């Protein structure tokens, strides 16, 4: 699991994260094929108030999380339009990514994200 400050974003601009996340099988260090329908992969991304109230959420089903093939295998990325972020006041929030693979739920990223007031 990755922890720490994830990014600084604006509440008045789209957030297209350049990070491309791949899941690695710890038994052989290979990239897990999340495009294989047999593993039942799902992913959600959230931004919460520090007290835990979810403010922004996205998933594969709703289109904020995408799955694509990279040079060495499939991975996922996320993006949010400015309208999804416009309700966030400037400040620090909790950020997380949760995945489901073969029925197992994992917290892949738990950290913070700084939001600045945009123009």
Average pLDDT score over the chain: 93
Entry field: residues in the chain: 119
102 in Cβ contact with 75 (< 8 Å):
no
- The confidence band for 3, taking pLDDT boundaries of 50, 70 and 90, is confident
Sign of CA dihedral 61, 20, 110, 51: negative
How many separate domains does the chain show? 1
Instruction: Return the CATH number at 109.
Output: 2.60.40.10
Query: What is the tens place of the pLDDT at every residue in 12-67?
Result: 999 998 888 998 888 999 999 999 989 999 999 999 999 989 999 999 999 999 99
Q: What is the mean pLDDT of residues 97-105?
A: 91
Domain that holds residue 38: 2-116
pTM, rounded to two decimals = 0.86
């Amino acid at each position: 699991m990755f922890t720490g400050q994830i990014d600084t974003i604006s509440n008045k601009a789209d957030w297209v994260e350049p990070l491309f996340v791949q899941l690695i099988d710890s038994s052989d260090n290979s990239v897990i094929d999340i495009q294989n329908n047999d593993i039942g992969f799902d992913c959600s991304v959230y931004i919460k108030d520090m007290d835990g109230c979810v403010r922004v959420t996205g998933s594969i089903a709703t289109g904020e999380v995408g799955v694509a093939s990279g040079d060495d295998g499939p991975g996922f990325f996320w993006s949010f339009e400015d309208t999804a972020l416009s309700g966030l006041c400037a400040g620090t929030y909790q950020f997380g990514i949760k995945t489901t693979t073969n029925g197992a739920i994992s917290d892949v990223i738990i950290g913070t994200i700084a939001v600045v007031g945009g123009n």
